[in-house]
Amino acid sequence: MTAQPAIASDALRSAMACFATGVVVVTAAAPDGPVGMAVNSFVSVSLEPPLVMFCAANTSTTWPAISAAGHFCANVLSADQEELARQFARKGDRFAGVVHRSGVTGAPVLRAVHAHLECEIVDTHEAGDHTLVIGRVLDLGTDHQALPLLFYRSSYRLF
């Protein structure tokens, strides 16, 4: 095998920052109350069956609770929900002041999101310093009137 050049983490982060994404708050119902975290690693995987995926950092303290719940709701944030994105990336009570309802899985569906996809976790794969989490979509909803919140080059952006 030929030696591969080392890729510095900063260089990889900087290259991937050129890939514009949406922002999703992944939520779940845990025994001690709702949990959630902001992610931008959310992608569509398959239509038949309906599968989506996000990546959870191995350092995440929220991922073990989502994993134990066995389900999650991917809340796709709207353009005016930047503060929610920030709240769900900080430590502290992430649900303080957040209006939500329980979905079919029990996972919190946040109010006024652009779309939500409720999933059961069907597979996980260890991949470097993250875990790939694959969910089968059980229920969803879309607000076609909304616009998305974007994340590009380390900043929140509008469409």
Chain residues that interact with ligand FMN, rule: CB under 6 A: 23, 37-41, 54-57, 60-63, 88-89, 151
Judge whether 100 and 113 are in contact, CB under 8 Å.
no
Q: Which is nearer to ligand FMN, 46 or 61 (CB)?
A: 61
Q: Which is nearer to ligand FMN, 70 or 104 (CB)?
A: 70
Grouping H, G, I as helix, E, B as strand and the rest as coil, residue 65 is helix
| Ramachandran category for residue 121: left, alpha or beta (phi over 0 → left; psi -120 to 50 → alpha) | beta
Chain position carrying tokens 């690693």: 41
Q: Which is nearer to ligand FMN, 72 or 151 (CB)?
A: 151
CB of 119 to ligand FMN, least distance (A): 15
CB of 2 to ligand FMN, least distance (A): 31
On the 0-12 / 13-18 / 19+ scale of CB atoms within 10 A, 132 is middle
Q: Which is nearer to ligand FMN, 40 or 105 (CB)?
A: 40
CB of 16 to ligand FMN, least distance (A): 11
